[in-house]
Amino acid sequence: MEPDLWYLYRHMFRSRLFEQVVQVFWEQGLISFDMHMGYGEEAIAAGIVCQMVDGDAMALDHRGTPPLLMRGIEPTLILRELMGRPDGLCGGLGGHMHLYSREHLCASSGIVGSSGPAGAGFALAAQYLRPGTLAIAFFGEGAINQGMLLESMNLAVAWQLPLLFVCKDDKWSISTRSASVTGGELVERARGFGLHTVEVDGADVEAVWHSAGEAMKRTRDGGGPTFLHAHCVHLEGHHLGFFLFRVGRDQIKEMIPLLGPLLRSATRRKGGSSRERIRSLTDIATRPRDAVKEQTQKEKDPLYRTRQKLISDRDRLEALEAEINVEIQDVMEVALED
């Protein structure tokens, strides 16, 4: 079945606008602590979540807002939860990384890799209690070295659980290049457990829809678990206010306070060789620029790419966006009410 691109774009655009409100609230101090955004992951979420049925479950990581919105959770409840209010989704106790909805069979966690065992638990319950349903575990490629996630892959294959492992790969593990701390290829590693594997461009919502749809059908039909490797970007870096992005966007302003400590470190008698110090300083100077360049390319933004496919019907597109703008504005106003 071909996807309804207008329907998918509606969900993606709605998620982006909602998170932009979250960003404004965070910048105003209404939301505390780190805020990890789903900017850049919208096509992955829409292409998968929009094919879920009643009884399917989701185990999410610390970027759970897009899937939760697309699954039908009331946005005002989410926004109030992020603000720590007692009338939020989890009574203000979960924050943005530990969101939960029993009604929707959704749970998120800030513990890296924990969506693996949570997803396996959901899948085991589906296997016994809701035949024909499945579970989905979302995580970043930085979690792929966590033992509990690898153990979950092993059990999923051994028990033939109806589970879809979704790896959202932006090639950065916070401020570290993932390739520098991960051996081998992720798809090959998943195949080593006996998982069926699929690789997809996570910025192409139609490609995600088709790849995920085939994998979900296979899983529902008893074909066992699948590892879906989706390539994406994080348009605001690891979290809002991410240091690498701040430096990459305004290197002079951000690096001035660090020049003294860096020079003292580079000229100390003890430590690495001159060559090693030069290499480290070069890495410090170029990594922020590379991170911003790689993560913010317009062509890798799933909303931009999807919008380009719909722009020929400009009137319909602008009407849809205006409608969602009004909805999200109302959500913001309601969330701020006492």
Kindly state whether residues 85 and 172 are assigned to the same domain.
yes
Percent of the chain with pLDDT over 90: 81
Same-domain pairing of 137 and 250:
no
> How does residue 193 score in pLDDT terms, banded at 50, 70 and 90?
very high
Q: Indicate whether 49 and 117 sit together in one domain.
A: yes
Q: What is the DSSP string of 236-263?
A: T-SSTT-HHHHHHHSHHHHHHHHHHHHH
> Domains in the chain: how many in total?
2
- Overall average pLDDT of the 215-231 stretch: 97
Residue 338 has pLDDT above 80, yes or no: no
329 and 304 in a common domain:
yes
Angle of the 314-335 helix axis to the 75-82 helix axis, nearest 10: 50
Instruction: Report H helices in 83-234.
Output: 115-129, 147-158, 186-192, 205-220
Looking at residue 173, its pLDDT comes to 94
- Distance from C-alpha of 320 to C-alpha of 331, rounded to nearest angstrom: 17
204 and 278 co-located in one domain: no
In this prediction, residue 267 has a pLDDT band, given cuts at 50, 70 and 90, of confident
Strand partners, 107: 59, 100
Flag whether pLDDT at 111 surpasses 80.
Answer: yes
Residues 265 and 230 in one domain: no
Q: Does one domain contain both 89 and 168?
A: yes
Could you tell me if 10 and 80 lie in one domain? yes
The span from the CA of 36 to the CA of 34, in Å, is 6
Residues 210 and 271 reside in one and the same domain: no
pLDDT tens figures, 315-337: 999 999 999 999 999 999 999 98
Average pLDDT in the 20-40 region? 95
**Structure confidence at residue 254 (pLDDT):** 65
Q: What is the pLDDT of residue 257?
A: 78
Domain residues for 267?
Answer: 243-291
Residue 262 has pLDDT above 90, yes or no: no
pLDDT digits (tens, 9 = 90+) for 45-75: 999 999 999 999 999 999 999 999 999 999 9
Tokens, residue 49:
């979540």
Q: Do 286 and 307 belong to one domain?
A: no
Report pLDDT digits (tens) over 16-25. 999 999 999 9
For residue 282, the model assigns a pLDDT of: 78
Q: How confident is the model over 130-166, as pLDDT tens digits? A: 999 999 999 999 999 999 999 999 999 999 999 999 9
Residues 6+ away with beta carbon under 8 Å from 20? none
- 272, 291, 310 — which closes off a domain? 291
Residue 182 belongs to domain with CATH number: 3.40.50.970
What pLDDT score was predicted for residue 247?
83
Residues 193 and 327 in one domain: yes
Does one domain contain both 162 and 209? yes
What pLDDT score does 253 carry? 76
